[in-house]
Amino acid sequence: MTQTNADQIAYWNGDVGRRWAAQQTRLDAMLSPLSEAALRAAAAKPGEHVLDIGCGCGDTSIKLAETVTATGRVLGADISAPMLALAKKRASAPNIAFSEADAASHRFEPHAFDLLFSRFGVMFFANPDEAFANMRQALKQTGRVAFVCWRDWRENEWVRVPIMAVRPHVPPQPQLGPEDPGPFAFADPARIRRIMASGGFDAITLKPFDAQVEIGNTLDDAVAYLQEFGPISRALTDASPAQKQQAAAALREALTPHAKTTPIKLGAAVWLVTARA
């Protein structure tokens, strides 16, 4: 399957972007242990200038703006108008700005940033080598990168358990190649290293990080939530109403053993990636 960034721009400006904006509070809560780990790895300091790539609804941009204080600044860049609209509404600090920009090709202010940060926003480039080379131009010579991306979907219980449950009930899914843009495009550590090195970065480090993430307060809640966004919603896109009903029943059954305590949590597995410009 070949894709261009135009496909991703359409994707994140359509139903998916609107659903992310609608679920922002829950998504931020779910991602918070992973976010905190990524922000720790980034170690932003007062006075620094930060570029938050694929900033979405602005959660990490807002946190970074607090950390860099009024002497620093944060620019959140994203291609999704509905997600950026919410980000702008949420962020009131004077040291934060947002830009609707394709990070792969946008001409950011050259050598202006100390830190390039991303929470799950760098796996969607049609040509990641070019995208990282472009983003590096925005960093000072002393600049650094810190981002978090998903490891393989099979290592992510929050994806594996629901996907294995719904798969028998939905139409066959198009097979994404391991290098096609998508949430799991950076699962392979060798690929991340190759892309970063090709983009001109060095001192590249990858640390695996695991956490339990909240997917719902009740079984009903978790079933509804997982159908709304991410890999499960993609799998349900072309399903008939009957198939959707069967998939929801299978999802509920698969989640039942995990619902003995609330909130319901499942395992998540990510890479924390850092590098120097």
Ligand X SMILES: C[S@@+](CC[C@H](N)C(=O)[O-])C[C@H]1O[C@@H](n2cnc3c(N)ncnc32)[C@H](O)[C@@H]1O
Point out which residues bind ligand X (CB under 6 A). Answer: 5, 8, 12, 27, 31, 53-57, 59, 77-80, 83, 102-104, 119-121, 124-125
Find residue 118's DSSP bridge partners: 147
For ligand X, the closer of residues 18 and 191 by Cβ is 18
What is the smallest separation between the CB atom of 121 and ligand X, expressed in angstroms?
Answer: 4
For ligand X, the closer of residues 61 and 227 by Cβ is 61
What is the smallest separation between the CB atom of 249 and ligand X, expressed in angstroms?
Answer: 28
Pair type for strands 202-216 and 96-100: unpaired
Find residue 197's DSSP bridge partners: none
Give the helix ranges, DSSP H, for 43-179: 59-68, 81-90, 128-136, 157-166
CA distances from 96 to 40, 80, 224, 257, 272 (A): 20, 17, 34, 43, 24
For ligand X, the closer of residues 185 and 254 by Cβ is 185
What is the smallest separation between the CB atom of 61 and ligand X, expressed in angstroms?
Answer: 9
For ligand X, the closer of residues 172 and 177 by Cβ is 177
What is the smallest separation between the CB atom of 109 and ligand X, expressed in angstroms?
Answer: 16
Phi, psi (5° rounding) for residue 94?
-70, -15
What is the smallest separation between the CB atom of 59 and ligand X, expressed in angstroms?
Answer: 6
Structure tokens at 145: 């990168």
For ligand X, the closer of residues 150 and 201 by Cβ is 150
For ligand X, the closer of residues 250 and 274 by Cβ is 274
Phi, psi (5° rounding) for residue 273?
-110, 130
What is the smallest separation between the CB atom of 187 and ligand X, expressed in angstroms?
Answer: 14
Structure tokens at 149: 């991306």
CA distances from 154 to 157, 170, 182, 270 (A): 7, 19, 15, 12
Phi, psi (5° rounding) for residue 11?
-60, -50
What is the smallest separation between the CB atom of 74 and ligand X, expressed in angstroms?
Answer: 13
For ligand X, the closer of residues 77 and 145 by Cβ is 77
Rounded CA-CA distance 89/227 in Å is: 27
